[in-house]
Structure 1
Amino acid sequence: MMRKIWKLRLGSFILRFFTGRNGLVDSRRKFESDNIDDFKNIIIYSTTALGDFMMNSPAIRAIRQRFPAAHITLVAHPKFRDFFEGGEDWDRVVYWMSKVKEVPALLKSLKSEGKPDLVVILHSHAPYDYISAVLTGAKYIFRDNYHDNISFVDKWLTNFTVGFKGHLIQRKLELVAPLGCDTSNIEMKLPRSLRSDLVKPERKILGFQLGASTPERCWPIDRFAKVASHFLQYNKNLDIVLIGGPGEISLGQSLLEYIPADLKERVINKIGKTSLQELAENINGFNVLLTGDTGPLHVAIALKVPTLSMFATEQPVFSGPYQDREIHHVILGVRSALRIETLGEGAMKSISVENVIKTLENNFDVL
């Protein structure tokens, strides 16, 4: 974070130069007396990973329900274009790669609907997110800061939470609570509903999400393979389905090298072969998903598909399952100085094959 301080200072200088103001602190007083029921133009930023969006989705729905007549623009990364188009909780999507050189084009697109009444930044990249938000001329700006007491950012915002230590979903909801949003619904949701003609497969399916955003969040491939071989051997009505993005294709190929020849035909590799919407449709057919801390975990939770998730570098109390806890189980790996292999990128080695197999057998009858 300290490496970004110079960017935050520069961002504050840029905003003072272009706006002639020294912040939006006065907007807090105005907000208290304003008739926010009249908001007509709202912008929401969610420009980071799939899992981040899923945890933002309850707050986005709450804003949509609070302002049903408002025109809502979602700012998102272009890699999610197919997934977000036609979303139920916004009217249009503006795509931005969070690059400073693209800010002028972003501003042009955002201003095409007129000056926004409200900008809500749920998850994006500082300082370009709030710089662009201020430069739209927005009346009020709400932002989830993730870090407290950074004056170069705080003074340009109408609202932000302070000292919140709970789940990310709840933190987003608390951020928008002053708008009068109903914050009671914590369930995540997909941008749009799945096809109504999807049918669950007759055979049982144990899904594997092998990859994650960083190496230290990935459980070793040979351990996934041992779990697969165990259940394939003892349950003849079970298939393993591998899911993941194009950058994870090699992980699926590696896993198949560990699987005995007589079991390989029951390992179905769909890594890199589906769109995000098709990925969600595949997950919807699983009986259980085994995964690390990554986006497909949250898609499965939104779809009410049972999961076993593995955490080592992050705390599930902040980013793990938050709804329907009776069908979602978590293993938290504990690293240790006496187990050198669990330090650094080997964090997930703190979770044993035996623990995963036992947890699956004890909690998911379908296996």
Structure 2
Amino acid sequence: MSVPASICLLRTSALGDVTHVVPLVHTLQQAWPRTSLTWLVGKLERRLVGDLPGVEFITFDKGAGWAGMRAVHAALRKRRFDALLHMQVAMRSNLLSLGIKATRRIGYDRARAKDLHGLVINERIPARTGEHVLQAIGSFCEPLGLKQTNVRWDIPIPDDAHAWAAQQWTDDKPVLLVSPTSSHALRNWPSQRYAAVMDHAAARGWRVVLIGGPSPAERSMADAVLAACRNQPLDLTGKDTLKKAMAMFCHAQLLLTPDSGPMHMANTVGLKVLGLHAASNPARSGPYSDRRWCVDKYDEAARKYLGKPASEIPWGSKIERPGVMDLIAIDDVIERFEAAAATVTSASK
């Protein structure tokens, strides 16, 4: 099979998902170092991955509506790619792909395609089930004759971000970062329960740090958590950037979070993640490298809300129902915290 001269990658969002594209980029670059890679990515997501070496980035500002789509189409009007890897199944992405000229248009298999995805592609990835999102995205190189056998991120983190993170806490206590807010509100755990776990960690001698973005929803959740805490944590909500968050993940020992972008960002640097899963399946969308520290109530949620075990519902089904995250008890999380803390303690001896 001939080596393509140019490949366009289309995965605009979200933060966690774009981290899953990075190993694919490294796979393509290692196999074909002379192949030109162009990645259509979201405005926010570009702040995280937009400095990957050897990749041209074109920003899609979905907040600009049709104007954002027209801007991408204008930027690509005179260009043609050997292959388009169309890794996002959404109507907006399918429309965006119409402005990309490519000989081979590789998309999802029929089971995972939706919103007329099949009309804008001419090849499909292998049909599989039971895969993590990262594995599904990695399989986009298979129609090109490659196989993703190594998962490597190496997302650049600037020195000034590391310097900022190092200044936020200066003692030698182990650090629990808490990022309590998902972009999907029904994946969020109750604020009082976060506070109970944070108080437990503080009593055990850990430095507890509350983090999150500057959005009103994240600020509101942070305020609710703080109001319920007996031991006030260091509150850095809205004070970091994506790169500073990545640096904090390098300087901490554990992250507590629901299914969210920070979960996957932290995973890329090897931070232990205490993920909270009831609305989503951790086997599909949990931290890819290590899910030992996660709380998994997905099967219980399937039985309660869908009347059947997780093994009998379609792979990747979301159970985003009011109250679903209440299935995760405080004691469930403290048990996983203690398990993770034991490894941190033993590693430091």
TM-score tier, shorter chain, comes to 0.7 to 0.9
Contact 2:58 2:72 (C-alpha < 8 Å) held by counterparts: no
State the Cα distance separating 1:76 from its structure 2 match: 1.1
Relative to the length of structure 1, the TM-score reads 0.78
Query: Which of the numbers 293, 297, 303 marks the counterpart of 2:269?
Result: 303
Paired position in structure 2 for 1:364:
341
Paired position in structure 1 for 2:52:
87
Query: Which of the numbers 226, 247, 250 marks the counterpart of 1:256?
Result: 226
Query: Which of the numbers 322, 325, 331 marks the counterpart of 1:354?
Result: 331
Contact 2:279 2:321 (C-alpha < 8 Å) held by counterparts: no
Specify the code of the residue in structure 1 equivalent to 2:10. Y
Paired position in structure 1 for 2:93:
129
The 5 Å alignment of 1:73-152 reads 73-97=38-62, 99-112=65-78, 114-123=79-88, 125-126=90-91, 128-144=92-108, 147-148=111-112, 152=116
**Does residue 319 in structure 1 map to residue 273 in structure 2?**
no
The separation in 1 between residues aligned to 2:94 and 2:61, in whole angstroms, is 14
Query: Which of the numbers 166, 171, 187 marks the counterpart of 2:136?
Result: 171
Inter-CA distance 89–182: structure 2 relative to 1 (3 Å threshold): farther
Inter-CA distance 346–285: structure 2 relative to 1 (3 Å threshold): same
Contact 2:52 2:156 (C-alpha < 8 Å) held by counterparts: yes
What secondary structure does 1:211 align onto? coil
State the Cα distance separating 1:180 from its structure 2 match: 2.8
State the Cα distance separating 1:101 from its structure 2 match: 4.3
Identity %: 21
The separation in 1 between residues aligned to 2:39 and 2:295, in whole angstroms, is 34
Specify the code of the residue in structure 2 equivalent to 1:74. W
Inter-CA distance 130–257: structure 2 relative to 1 (3 Å threshold): closer
Inter-CA distance 216–145: structure 2 relative to 1 (3 Å threshold): farther
Inter-CA distance 137–344: structure 2 relative to 1 (3 Å threshold): closer
Specify the code of the residue in structure 2 equivalent to 1:167. H
Contact 2:178 2:209 (C-alpha < 8 Å) held by counterparts: yes
Specify the code of the residue in structure 1 equivalent to 2:180. L
The separation in 1 between residues aligned to 2:104 and 2:185, in whole angstroms, is 39
What secondary structure does 2:90 align onto? coil
Paired position in structure 1 for 2:179:
209
Specify the code of the residue in structure 1 equivalent to 2:58. V
State the Cα distance separating 1:255 from its structure 2 match: 1.2
State the Cα distance separating 1:294 from its structure 2 match: 0.6
The separation in 1 between residues aligned to 2:158 and 2:13, in whole angstroms, is 23
Paired position in structure 1 for 2:121:
157
Contact 1:73 1:94 (C-alpha < 8 Å) held by counterparts: no
What secondary structure does 1:321 align onto? coil
Contact 2:187 2:258 (C-alpha < 8 Å) held by counterparts: yes
Specify the code of the residue in structure 1 equivalent to 2:336. T
Alpha-carbon RMSD across the aligned residues, in angstroms, is 2.7
What secondary structure does 1:252 align onto? helix
The separation in 1 between residues aligned to 2:330 and 2:116, in whole angstroms, is 47
The separation in 2 between residues aligned to 1:357 and 1:224, in whole angstroms, is 10
The separation in 1 between residues aligned to 2:25 and 2:275, in whole angstroms, is 25
Q: What are the ranges of 5 or more consecutive residues in structure 2 without an aligned counterpart?
A: 306-318
Stretch deviating more after TM superposition (46-55 or 193-202): 193-202
Q: What are the ranges of 5 or more consecutive residues in structure 1 without an aligned counterpart?
A: 1-34
The separation in 1 between residues aligned to 2:158 and 2:173, in whole angstroms, is 21
Inter-CA distance 280–359: structure 2 relative to 1 (3 Å threshold): same
What secondary structure does 2:239 align onto? coil
The separation in 2 between residues aligned to 1:269 and 1:360, in whole angstroms, is 20
Paired position in structure 1 for 2:211:
243
The separation in 2 between residues aligned to 1:221 and 1:55, in whole angstroms, is 29
Relative to the length of structure 2, the TM-score reads 0.82
Inter-CA distance 344–134: structure 2 relative to 1 (3 Å threshold): closer
State the Cα distance separating 1:147 from its structure 2 match: 4.0
Contact 1:75 1:95 (C-alpha < 8 Å) held by counterparts: yes
**Does residue 228 in structure 1 map to residue 194 in structure 2?**
no
The separation in 1 between residues aligned to 2:260 and 2:114, in whole angstroms, is 28
The separation in 2 between residues aligned to 1:363 and 1:80, in whole angstroms, is 30
The 5 Å alignment of 1:321-336 reads 321-324=287-290, 328-333=292-297, 334-335=300-301
Paired position in structure 1 for 2:30:
65
Contact 1:290 1:307 (C-alpha < 8 Å) held by counterparts: yes
Contact 1:46 1:124 (C-alpha < 8 Å) held by counterparts: no
The separation in 1 between residues aligned to 2:320 and 2:58, in whole angstroms, is 41
Query: Which of the numbers 278, 286, 294 marks the counterpart of 2:244?
Result: 278
State the Cα distance separating 1:192 from its structure 2 match: 1.9
The separation in 1 between residues aligned to 2:183 and 2:11, in whole angstroms, is 17
Specify the code of the residue in structure 2 equivalent to 1:277. K
| Cα offsets for 1:10-62 (capped at 9, x unmatched) | xxxxxxxxxxxxxxxxxxxxxxxxx531x222211111110111122222222
